[in-house]
Structure 1
Amino acid sequence: MKSNTRRKFIKKASILPIGLTLGNTPLERTYSSQGNLPLDSSTSKIKLSLNAWSYNIPLFNYMKGNAGGMSLFELLEECARLDFDAVDPTGYFFPGYPEVPKTYFINDFKRRAFQLGLDISGTGIRTDFATANKKRRMADVELTKQWIEVAARMGAPVIRVFAGHRPEEHTWDEAAVWVSDALAECAEHGKQHGVLVGVQNHGGMLTNADEILKILSMAQSDWLGSIVDTGFFMSPNPYADIERVIPHAVNWQVKDLLQDRKGGEIDLSKLVNIIKASNYRGYLPIETLPIPGKEDEYDAYKRVPILLANLRKALA
């Protein structure tokens, strides 16, 4: 009851402009007072993972029965060949999505990843909690709950979701209540199954640190955090946003291009310095995407090793 009362109180802050404080307490402090890092953590610990979306073209080709396809099991082989620590298999590529995969498939995938020395750093699904249609919102909440249970069976500690896009006829603050309510309900289910819910800044409702921090403070759950998408901070200084959000990071998507691929290449040395200064401990999944205007030239088999090598160099 106390947590629900507290959440309702915090939601009243939605009438405040983004970036203002709750009472005399900054939003960062309000949420991070729960503490996401161990008190004795004095250094960052990074494990490199691959977000499966990097290979979405061959993965979808496989699902369609087209030439040049790649199965999820072949994706595991590729991750092992590149010596990743882990893999982040997006739910879209499992047979029958959005339906949950069969138990035998989950178990076979988990076994093969273990044999190849790969952790499963997380998984993700497509959601829209900002829609004005409550029936659709609740359907996505139910979908998330189902995939939380898939993540638990697969051994994935985090499930990645989207906040969604604000309807034009509603304000950001109105939609923020719907989003935070949905996230809080999903996080409660995640708590029951030992799976963290991570909301990704992927345009729509979440384009900067202020918006992310406000949503997290409204939902108020130890089982909810941020998927830090380095490529989708649409503010003038993405690195400043990243630095502010890191205390709430439960996973990442490190992309080679900034601001929805329109802001040039990421400065990995600068990013790594920010991460190390934050003492973040966990996975850094990477994701490559086509360069705008050069979609036909995109080749994940070439781009992924380049980003991986550059990130390893920056970490070293």
Structure 2
Amino acid sequence: MTTQPSRRRFLTQSAGLAVLAAAGVTLPAGAARAAPASAGRLPAKLKTSLNAFSFNTAMTRGRDGNGPDMTLMDVLDFCAQQDFEAIDPTGYYFPGYPHVPTDAYLADFKRKAFDLGLEISGTGIRNNFATADATKRAADVELAKRWIEAAAKMGAPVIRLFAGQQEAGVNREDIYGWMAEDLHTCAEFGQQHGVVVGVQNHNDFVKNAAQTIKLVKRVDHAWLGVILDTGNFRDNPYPDIAAVLPYTVNFQLKESPYGKDSDVLIDLDRFVQILVDAGYRGYVPIETLTPEGTNPDMRVVIPRFMTRVRRAFARVG
């Protein structure tokens, strides 16, 4: 097995340890180690991005329920208008998903993003590596491989995968075993194509920092990390965010740390301080969700949340 990548190792060995202590996370004896000579030389660098799932309703059933009224190309225009630095185009919204789009479409998408001054911060698919059905897992590994190739073609540095939902009566340790094997296979393929594989804490098989870190350590591959979903560490969000940060390769920053139906807003100053103290350098894509029974205008909701995020970046970062 390969070692952790340099950024995760850097974070773990230096500022990340201070963040965990400040957040109340207890490290086992012997966990601390000498920081490398480069520790602390680079300040945090936080780049804005929009996860396309924010426009899920508009790109599926539309605000009037009669079909899509936006495409991914429209989301590119929106991101440019709102001065995002990047876009995270979820795979579901590409033509023909779960099949990968044509090379021509990927090239057109990549060129339009370039013309608008936008980077592509990542992409993502649906998969389930928690199922006991080995045939289904194998099919999802192949799905991930096809989309890793698509990510490479459009210049997305990270692809987001799920762990999956645990089935009743299936032993968790058995799931960890085959899930780690499948994710390792994906990470190997990702390395071949220059695409980092990130597994998201999606409130499914992994619900907290300990479970997430255990999975990453079982995979033990330099091209496998975590897509840190700030809305799905619901029992102890801020300490869990700090604990998982050394393994984090991208984000989904949600409006609430307690799920889409919660009225409790994330403490953005506290969140950004965790990132700054750890020296995180990378994208922080936001993802706004639609609470059950509502149909808000996301063209209003997204800029409102992004304004809060940018103010926190300015105050803290």
TM bucket, shorter chain? 0.7 to 0.9
Find the residue that maps to 2:225 and give its secondary structure.
strand
Offset of 1:178 from its aligned partner? 1.5
- Per the alignment, residue 240 of structure 1 pairs with 239
CA apart distance, 1:297: 3.5
Tell me, in whole angstroms, the C-alpha distance in 1 between the residues paired with 2:281 and 2:149. Answer: 24
Normalising by structure 1, report the TM-score: 0.86
86 and 240 in structure 1: CA distance in 2 versus 1, 3 angstrom threshold: same
Cα distance between partner residues in 2 of 1:173 and 1:67: 43
TM-score of the two chains, using structure 2 as the length reference: 0.85
Return the offset for 1:203: 1.3
Further displaced range: 168-177 or 205-214: 168-177
* Other structure's SS at 2:294 match: helix
Of 281, 296, 299, which residue of structure 2 is paired with 1:298? 296
Separation of aligned partners in 1, 2:68 and 2:182: 39
User: Could you say which residue in structure 2 is the equivalent of 1:144?
Assistant: 144
Secondary structure class of the residue paired with 1:161 = strand
Matched, 1:312 2:314: no
Show structure 1 runs of 5+ residues with no match: 5-18
1:105 equivalent in alignment to 2:108: no
SS in 2 for 1:84: coil
Residues 80-159 of structure 1 mapped to structure 2, 5 A cutoff: 80-159=80-159
- Mapped to 2, the partners of 1:267 and 1:3 lie a distance apart of 36
Q: Write out per-residue CA displacement over residues 112-166 of structure 1, whole angstroms, 9 at most, x where no aligned residue.
A: 0000000000000001001000000010001000000000000000000000011
The one-letter amino acid of 2:101's match is: P
Paired position in structure 1 for 2:288: 288
Q: Structure 2: how far apart are the matches of 1:298 and 1:174?
A: 42
1:25–1:161 Cα change, 3 Å: farther
Alpha-carbon displacement from aligned partner over 1:247-272 (angstroms, at most 9, x marks no partner): 11100000001222355211111111
For structure 2, which runs of at least 5 residues remain unmatched after alignment? 4-24
Asked if the contact 2:60–2:67 (Cα under 8 Å) also holds between the matched residues in 1, the reply is no
Task: Tell me the distance in 1 between the aligned counterparts of 2:56 and 2:209.
Answer: 28
1:302 shift after superposition: 1.2
Residue 234 of structure 1 deviates from its aligned partner by 2.5
Distance 1:175 1:123 in 2: 25
Q: Does structure 2 conserve the Cα–Cα contact (< 8 Å) formed by 1:41 and 1:279?
A: no
| 1:202 and 2:197 matched | no
CA contact (8 A) 1:61 1:70 kept: no
Q: What is the aligned-residue identity percentage?
A: 45
Point out which structure has higher relative CO (alpha carbons under 8 A, 6+ apart): 2
| Residue 224 (structure 2) aligns with | 224
CA distance in 2, matches of 1:20, 1:42: 26
Q: Is the 8 A contact 2:40 2:279 kept in 1?
A: no
Query: Residue by residue, what CA displacement relative to the aligned partner does 1:36-71 show, whole Å, maximum 9, x if unpaired?
Result: xx7464311011000000001111147xx9466101
* AA in 1 matched with 2:189: H
Look up the match of 2:193: 193
Which residue of 2 is the match for residue 44 of structure 1? 44
Aligned amino acid, residue 301 of structure 2? R
CA contact (8 A) 1:159 1:196 kept: yes
How many residues are treated as equivalent by the alignment? 289
AA aligned to 2:249 is: V
Q: Does 1:53 align with 2:53?
A: yes
Match of 1:253 in 2: 252
Counterpart residue identity of residue 192, structure 2? Q
Instruction: Report SS of the residue matched to 1:255.
Output: coil
- CA deviation vs aligned residue, 1:214-258 (integer Å, no higher than 9, x gap): 0000000000000000001122x2000000111111000000012
